[in-house]
A and B are shown apart, each in its own frame.
Chain A
Amino acid sequence: MAVDTPSQSVAKAAGDSVARGRSRGTGKPRGAAKRSLSTHWYAWAMVAPVIVVIAVIIGYPLIRGIYLSLTDANERNVARSIGVNEIPATYEFVGLDNYTEALTGSQFLATLGWTLVWTVSCVALTFALGLALANILNRKIAGRSAYRLMLILPWAVPGFVSVFAWRFLYNQDNGLLNKILAGGGIDAVPWLNDPTWAKFSVILVNVWLGVPFMMVALLGGLQSIPSEMYEAAEMDGANAWQRFRHITMPGLRSVSTTVILLSTIWTFNMFPVIFLLTRGGPGEATQILVTQAYKFSFEVSPRDFAQSSTWGVLILVLLMLFAAVYRRVLRKQGEVW
């Protein structure tokens, strides 16, 4: 929109009533573009660095990734020059073969299935816990700021530090969790060694890491709900649940839709928790799409750049689809996002 306006005004100014904009130009647009440039050169100059930076750091890798996903590039056939060895690229264009392979094979779909379970359970649990904690902390209770501080803590610690700490806690023989359980006479739990327990364990850590963000965001939302509404509802005889259901939830809607969207995308792509805790193991039990894409690119040998890019593009498409659908649903409910 913002781009259309100047070019139209320029076209008008030039008295050219037929060729509005560039698409219908008959030789004139060039001149129009030139005039636009001379009139608004400073605006273009301001925008240029951003465009260049975006093109270089987002556009180029994206296009390169899409291109690689259409080839059979791997570690053996890409170009490289090491000292005296100059090895030219020998990979070939294979069209959509990688996509067919990914979508018809069992690996991608199985990984996607677990990725969805992981995302939905993490987001649901963090949201529920965050909401509960935010409600508790929104009341006037003794030592409220101390509680808030403590609950923020997981967020303040660098992710990899907490994940490594959890890894120590989870250790089957020497970990603190099993020592505590042993004190209660309970057998050692194979936290990271049994596929089902490992899935449970990674979700637990991610929830622990994700709750502070939810809590803070929702607390902010809660504080923006005017207390008069609660007072009025109380006068009308609404009980606590009714107040929560009819004032708190609608009041939080704009905040919660945003945090759920963000949290879904983050969790879907939550690399460090899975990678550092289990490396996708045992076997492939906790492998999500991004860690598997990483594995193709950096852990298997020869490293499969083509397949890794294919998975990367598929992840992007899935998330874009999700965002589009989510947005449409919200719009139907009258939310602006």
Chain B
Amino acid sequence: MRRGIAATALVAALGVTLAACGSDSGSDGGGAKGSGELSGTVTWWDTSTVGSEDKVFKKVAEDFKKKHPKVTVKYVNVPFGEAQNKFKNAAQSGSGAPDVIRSEVAWTPEFADLGYLAPLDGTPALKNADDFLDQASASTQYKGKTYGVPQVIDSMGIFYNKKIFQDAGVEVPKTIGELKTVAAKIKEKTGKTGLYLRGDDAYWFLSFLYGEGGNLVDAEKKTVTVDNAAGVKGFKVVKDLVDSGAAKTDATDGWNNMQTAFKDGKVAMMINGPWAVADTYAGKEFKDKANLGIAPVPAGSAGQGAPQGGHNLAVYAGSKNLDASYAFAEYMTSVETQATVAKELSLLPTRESVYIKPDVATNEMIGFFKPVVEKAVERPWIPETGSLFAPLVTEYTKVLTGQTSPDAGAKATGDAYRKLLKDWK
């Protein structure tokens, strides 16, 4: 009870303080307030990879205290696979939700649509918003307002083990056809599997779907496209990769199995994004960082189609410390913070001006992914974007485990989408 009163008093006091300095925070774009004005606790749900990325993010987040000594940052790492539902549960019930969440790009419009996020336009969170890359900003918009601050942007490529490639005497495959011959040769020469393809997460399916010219939906024409001819072909391609032995897959624990197999040199290739770089370097095969090669995803019949992803920082509408949360989101996406993160983790910054920093400009991984991101396929940023994966992953796994045919799997996904998207064709 007593704590409740104290908290109320704190909020009231904060309100008064803010009202007092409301005018100048508007004029200087905020964030640059003298230290000591903001206070309270900011709980941040991070979803980065445990064991590598989380350490860096935790340290950076807690350093926020250096700028604002009266603000306590509570860092919580929530596994990426659970964060979406966990946040929705907490946000809806109104208890236990964090002040700031690292929201995957597809979640942002969904959370905004459900009323869980605070609009950020005109708040200190969006300081120097012009500096953000256009692709990174796209997912933060919903109904004319901004609901997220781009934190990192990413896409996917092939990670390959240079030593295995040398032993087998093969070149990096550029197309799906080459991928199959390369995998066969690797198997023959080294006994290892060519590619690890996650079977429990449909995000790993997207580059094959896009590669055949397919897509989940066409938001402009309001049409479901996942089950058209190109979509079905996408399903057929992955099924064939697994059936022919070019790729191995799992229906459970895909992330761990993929990382373990690749880091231990049991598979020669995996499709992955910048978020896996730090973790991969920790593996015994990559003590010599030069052994890790990276190349564009193999092209399908319609070309290369890596998906664009990334994460935004979004502020919970029910946060008790909105102003501290805005400042935190601004700090975590500032040029300095992004430069640190890029240097330590090879994650792609969302601000144009970070790329010219010397450490970032010379980073091989970032140098590779920057042009890939520019060409990557964006998902439609509609509120239902966050809902499209659940039906897809079920059918994708069913196709890979032989419970359904590629045609039937594509059709079932399309039917689920039409049920979800009312009045769409």
Contact surface of A with B, Cβ cutoff 8 Å: 75-76, 78, 80-85, 87, 167, 171-174, 192-195, 198, 278-279, 281-285, 298-303
Contacts and interface: CB of A to CB of B under 8 A. Distances in A.
Given A83-B319, A171-B253, A303-B88, A283 B404 contact: yes
Contacts of B394: 281, 283-284
B390 interface: yes
A279 B82 CA distance: 12
A2 to B, nearest CB: 40
Given A76-B114, A172-B250, A193-B250, A82 B88 contact: no
A75 B397 CA distance: 26
B148 interface: no
- The bracket for how many chain B residues form the interface is 35 or more
Contact of A299 (B249, B261, B390, B400): B390
A301 B257 CA distance: 27
For the complex of A and B, 4 pairs with smallest distance between CB atoms:
A282-B251, A283-B398, A83-B318, A83-B317
A278 B85 CA distance: 18
Q: Give the interface centre of A75, A84, A283 by most chain B CB atoms within 10 Å.
A: A283
Contacts of A195: 401-403
Interface string B93-113: 010000000000000001001
B387 A82 contact: no
Contacts of B303: none
20 contacts: A78-B92, A80-B114, A82-B92, A82-B94, A84-B118, A84-B317, A85-B115, A167-B252, A171-B257, A173-B261, A193-B249, A278-B251, A281-B251, A281-B394, A282-B199, A282-B398, A284-B394, A298-B89, A300-B390, A301-B387
Contacts of A298: 85, 89
A194 B403 CA distance: 9
B252 A282 contact: yes
B381 interface: no
A75 B91 CA distance: 11
B401 A301 contact: no
Nearest to A300: B390
B323 interface: no
B227 interface: no
Contacts of B85: 298-299, 301
Nearest to A192: B252
B316 interface: yes
A122 B317 CA distance: 47
A10 B401 CA distance: 71
A283 B387 contact: no
B257 A82 contact: no
A173 B266 contact: yes
A284 B401 CA distance: 11
A194 B250 CA distance: 9
A316 to B, nearest CB: 23
Given A172-B250, A192-B252, A87 B115 contact: yes
Contacts of B395: 283
A281 B381 CA distance: 29
Contact of A302 (B261, B387, B391): B387
A22 to B, nearest CB: 42
B173 interface: no
Given A282-B398, A282-B403, A193 B94 contact: no
B354 to A, nearest CB: 31
A301 B251 contact: no
B212 interface: no
Interface string B192-217: 00000001100000000000000000
Contact of B397 (A81, A167, A171, A283): A283
A333 to B, nearest CB: 42
A75 B403 contact: no
A301 B390 contact: yes
Contacts of A171: 253, 257
Contacts of A279: 252
Contacts of A302: 114, 387
Interface string B363-388: 00000000000000000000000110
B317 A82 contact: yes
B394 to A, nearest CB: 6
A283 B199 CA distance: 10
Given A81-B94, A83-B318, A285 B84 contact: no
B115 A82 contact: yes
B199 A193 contact: yes
Interface in B391-425: 391, 394-395, 397-398, 400-404
A72 to B, nearest CB: 12
A75 B257 CA distance: 34
